[in-house]
Amino acid sequence: MSDTETLIKQKNELITKMLQMQKKFVDLEHSGGVDPGEYYNPPSGSPLENYVAEYNELARQVNKLAHEIKGSGHVN
């Protein structure tokens, strides 16, 4: 497997994880709603605990990999 193929595989795995997170969020929202306060400042033990930080980190990694794959040089 080439370096580019490896990077694409890694990127796709991260995107899959992001989609799984989105589905869990939508399911939670449909089952009882999501309070904006809980979304941005979830209490300990909440299903949303660390959600925003984890999702943002995955998005950052996907962005970085996309730039590496294209060779754009814009790598964070």
User: Above 60 in pLDDT, residue 75?
Assistant: no
pLDDT confidence tier of residue 19, bands split at 50, 70 and 90: very high
Would you list the domain boundaries of the chain? 3-70
- 7 and 69 Cβ atoms separated by less than 8 Å: yes
Give the Cα separation of 29 and 18 in Å (integer): 16
pLDDT confidence tier of residue 74, bands split at 50, 70 and 90: low
pTM of the model: 0.85
DSSP 8-class letter at 73: S
